[in-house]
Chains A and B, each alone.
Chain A
Amino acid sequence: MTRVVSVLIGIALVACLPVLGDNYLLRLGTMFAMYAALALSWNIIGGFAGYPSFATAAFFGLGAYTGAILQGTGVSMFIAWAGAGLVACGFAALLGMAILHLKGHYFAIASLVVAEVLLEVATSWTSVTGGGMGLNLPVLQISIEAQARLFFYAMLTIAVLALGMNWLVANGKLGFALRCIRQNEDASSMVGIDTTFYKVTGFALSAVFVGSAGAIYASWVFYIEPADVFSVLTSVKPIVMVLLGGAGTVLGPVIGAFVFIVMEELVWRNFLSFHAAVLGLLIVGLIFFVPNGILGLLRRRWTSGSRPQSSEENVE
C-alpha cells in the first residue's frame, strides 16, 4: 500500500512541474513522460515475456503518421491520438501472430526490420505520407506556454496509463502467463497456458501507448519525417532504459527512463558531437556493471544481510 501511495505522490509532484514556469524543464519533463511510456510498454513484451522486441520504433512511427494523417483530415487532436493507439495495437496483433513463433535472435531481427520496412513505405507513399519531405501538422492557435503545458499533460497521461497497465498486467493473469512463458515456454504450454494468445496480447498491449505517444509527439513537433519517427534509436533507448532500471518490474522502466533522460541532457548540452558515442559507452557500462538494473542493485543490497543461506537447506 505504501508503495502505491508513494507512486501516486510522485505522479502528483511531477504533474506540478508547470508551476515552475520553466519551458526548458517542461520540455524535458515531456520527453521523460514519453520515454517512460515507451519503456513501460516495452517492458510487457521484453521484460515480462522475455521476447527481445525491437518493434517500438515501428509502433511509434506508425502512431505518429496515423495521428498526423487523421489530423490532416480535420479530426480533433485527441481523437487522432486515440486512433493512433488503436491502429498501432491492431498492427501489433497482426504482426505478433506472424512473428511471435520465432525465438531469440530471429524474433529480434524480424521486429527490427519491420520498422525499416515501414520507414521505406512512408518514404515512398508520398501521396499519403508526404514521402521523404515529411508531413506538416496543423499549428495550434494557443500560446507557447499553453502548448507546452498541454503536451506535457498529454504525455504524462499516457505515461500514467502505461504505468497502470504495467501494474495490472504484473498482478493479473496475463503477467503470470508471460512470466511463465519467459522461464519455460514448453512447460507453460503443458500446464495449460495458450502461449500464442498471451504473447500476442502482450505484444498488442505493448503497442497501444507507444502509438499514442507517437501521435502526441507528431502534434507536439508539428512536422515529422520517416527517418525521425522510425529511427532505430526509438527502439533501442527504451530497452536500455528498462535494463537500466530493472526489467520485468513495474517501476524499473520509469526509474531507468528518468536516469537516462537526465544523463542524456547533460551529455547533449556538453558533448553534442559525441552524443552517440556516450550513449554507446553508457550501454557498455550498463551491460557490465549494472546487469540487473538499478532496482536489482538496490534489492541485492537490501536483502544481502537478511536472507538465510538457503543453498545448504534440504527441502523435501
Chain B
Amino acid sequence: MLYIQILLNGLMLGGLYACIAVGFSLVWGVLNVINIMHGSFVVLGSYIAYFAYVHLGVHPFFSIVLSGGALFVLGYALQAGLINRVVGAPVLTTLVLTFGLDLLLNNAMLLAFSADYRTVRLENPFGSLIVADLVIPLNRLYGMLLAGALTALLYMVLMRSRMGRAIVAVRMDSEAAALMGVNVKRIFALTFGIGALMAGAAGSLLSLIFPISPIASTDFLGIAFVVCVLGGLGSIAGAMVGGLALGVIQSFGALFIGPQHGLTIAFILLIILLIFKPTGIMGRRGYE
C-alpha cells in the first residue's frame, strides 16, 4: 500500500513538473534557446497568484489567467525586443544572455518581495481525500488535474490552430517554414510568450503547494532541465512523460534516501542520461 501511496504522490508531483517544464521545452525545441529565466517566470507567476489572493480574493486556480496573461506579455516583449537579436548565435551567447536577464529579474523580485518564503493559505483549505488507506491531498490532486488540462489545451492549440501548426513547422525546419510564408520572428516571439505563459500558470498552481520565494527559481529551472532531457525537447507528450517519470523517481528516491535530496536525485539522473542517452526516454533527438 505504501508503494501505491508513493506512486500516487509521484504522479501528482509529476503532473505539476510537466506543467513547469512544458513551456521551457517548447522554447528550447523551437528557438534553440535555453531560457534561464524560466524558473524566475514560475516564481513570478506564484507571486501574482499570491497577491491576487491576498488583495483581491482571487483563488489561485483562477489567477492562472492573470499569471499566464502577464507572463505572456513579459515573455513576448523580452523575446521580440532582445532575445530575437541573438537567436542563432552560439550556445554560449544565448545562455549567458538569459542568465544575465535572470539576474536582473531575480534581483528585482528580491527587492520587491524580499526573500521570505510565503505560502497561500486558503480560508477554506481543500483538505484531503481518503480512499482505502491512501491520502490524496486535494490541492495537489486539483493542481495536477488542472496542470494536465492546461498542458492538453496547449497540445490542442499546437495541433489544431494555424499559429500552432506554424510553431511546429518552425520547430522542424525554420528555413523551410520561412519559405512557406511563416513569419518566423513572430513565431519565435509567440513561442517564447507561450513558454512564459505556461510558466506563470504553473506558478499559480504551485502557489498552493510550494512556498514562494525568488530563491526557489533555481529549483524550478533544474526540474525543467531534467524533464526536458528525460522526455525530449519541444514535445508536449515528452514533457508529460518526463514530468511524470521525474515525479515518480523522486518520490521513490525520497523514500530511500530522504526527501531533502530530491533535486540531487534529479541532477544525477540528468547527468547519467546526458552521458548515455541524451535523447531521453522518448528517444527523440532535440536541438543540441
Chain A in direct contact with chain B (Cβ < 8 angstroms):
yes
Which A residues are within 8 Å of any B CB, using their own CB? Answer: 46, 50, 52, 98-99, 102-106, 108-110, 113-114, 116-117, 120, 124, 232, 236, 239-240, 243, 273-277, 279-284, 286-288, 291
Beta-carbon contact of B271 and A280 below 8 Å: no
Q: Cα distance A50–B68 when bound, in Å?
A: 37
Beta-carbon contact of B107 and A287 below 8 Å: no
Beta-carbon contact of B92 and A282 below 8 Å: no
Q: DSSP majority for the B interface?
A: helix
- Complex contacts, B267 vs chain A, CB 8 Å: 113, 116-117, 120
Q: Cα distance A236–B268 when bound, in Å?
A: 21
Known contacts A105-B34, A239-B92, A287-B93, A124 near B275 by CB under 8 Å: no
Residue in A46, A50, A283, A291 whose CB lies within 8 Å of B99: A283
Residue in B34, B104, B274, B275 whose CB lies within 8 Å of A281: B104
Beta-carbon contact of B275 and A108 below 8 Å: no
- Complex contacts, B97 vs chain A, CB 8 Å: 283-284, 287
Beta-carbon contact of A276 and B107 below 8 Å: yes
Known contacts A280-B104, A281-B100, A283-B103, A110 near B261 by CB under 8 Å: no
Beta-carbon contact of B274 and A280 below 8 Å: no
- Complex contacts, A291 vs chain B, CB 8 Å: 93
Which single residue of chain A is at the shortest CB-CB distance from B222? A116
Judged by a CB distance under 8 angstroms, whether B121 is at the interface is: no
Beta-carbon contact of B225 and A113 below 8 Å: yes
Q: Besides the contacts A109-B274, A113-B225, what 19 more A-B pairs have beta carbons closer than 8 Å?
A: A52-B90, A102-B278, A106-B278, A106-B288, A110-B270, A113-B267, A113-B271, A120-B264, A120-B267, A240-B96, A243-B92, A243-B96, A273-B107, A277-B103, A279-B100, A280-B101, A283-B103, A284-B104, A287-B100
Which single residue of chain B is at the shortest CB-CB distance from A239? B96
B233 to chain A, nearest CB (A): 9
| 19 A-B residue pairs with CB within 8 Å | A46-B92, A103-B288, A105-B91, A108-B92, A109-B34, A114-B271, A117-B268, A120-B264, A124-B261, A277-B103, A277-B107, A279-B103, A280-B99, A280-B103, A280-B104, A283-B101, A283-B103, A287-B96, A288-B85
Beta-carbon contact of A110 and B271 below 8 Å: yes
Beta-carbon contact of B101 and A104 below 8 Å: no
Q: Cα distance A286–B100 when bound, in Å?
A: 10
Q: Cα distance A277–B112 when bound, in Å?
A: 13
Residue in A110, A120, A232, A288 whose CB lies within 8 Å of B263: A120
B60 to chain A, nearest CB (A): 28
- Complex contacts, B176 vs chain A, CB 8 Å: none
- Complex contacts, B85 vs chain A, CB 8 Å: 288
Which single residue of chain B is at the shortest CB-CB distance from A243? B96
Which single residue of chain A is at the shortest CB-CB distance from B85? A288
A60 to chain B, nearest CB (A): 18
- Complex contacts, B263 vs chain A, CB 8 Å: 116, 120
Beta-carbon contact of B106 and A276 below 8 Å: yes
Q: Which 9 A-B pairs have the closest CB atoms?
A: A283-B100, A280-B103, A280-B104, A277-B107, A120-B264, A276-B107, A104-B288, A52-B92, A280-B100
Q: Cα distance A109–B228 when bound, in Å?
A: 11
Interface residues of B in 98-115 (CB under 8 A from A): 99-108, 110-111
- Complex contacts, A275 vs chain B, CB 8 Å: 107
Known contacts A102-B274, A104-B288, A109 near B100 by CB under 8 Å: no
- Complex contacts, B108 vs chain A, CB 8 Å: 277
Q: Cα distance A102–B270 when bound, in Å?
A: 13
Beta-carbon contact of A277 and B274 below 8 Å: no
- Complex contacts, A98 vs chain B, CB 8 Å: 275
Beta-carbon contact of A280 and B102 below 8 Å: yes
Interface residues of B in 109-141 (CB under 8 A from A): 110-111
- Complex contacts, B92 vs chain A, CB 8 Å: 46, 52, 108, 239, 243
Beta-carbon contact of B264 and A284 below 8 Å: no
Judged by a CB distance under 8 angstroms, whether B76 is at the interface is: no
Q: Cα distance A116–B223 when bound, in Å?
A: 13
Q: Cα distance A276–B268 when bound, in Å?
A: 28
Q: Cα distance A98–B270 when bound, in Å?
A: 13
Judged by a CB distance under 8 angstroms, whether B47 is at the interface is: no
- Complex contacts, A120 vs chain B, CB 8 Å: 261, 263-264, 267
Which single residue of chain B is at the shortest CB-CB distance from A291? B93
B287 to chain A, nearest CB (A): 7
Most buried by B among A102, A109, A288: A109
- Complex contacts, B271 vs chain A, CB 8 Å: 99, 110, 113-114, 117
Which single residue of chain A is at the shortest CB-CB distance from B105? A280
Q: Cα distance A279–B99 when bound, in Å?
A: 10
Beta-carbon contact of B95 and A52 below 8 Å: yes
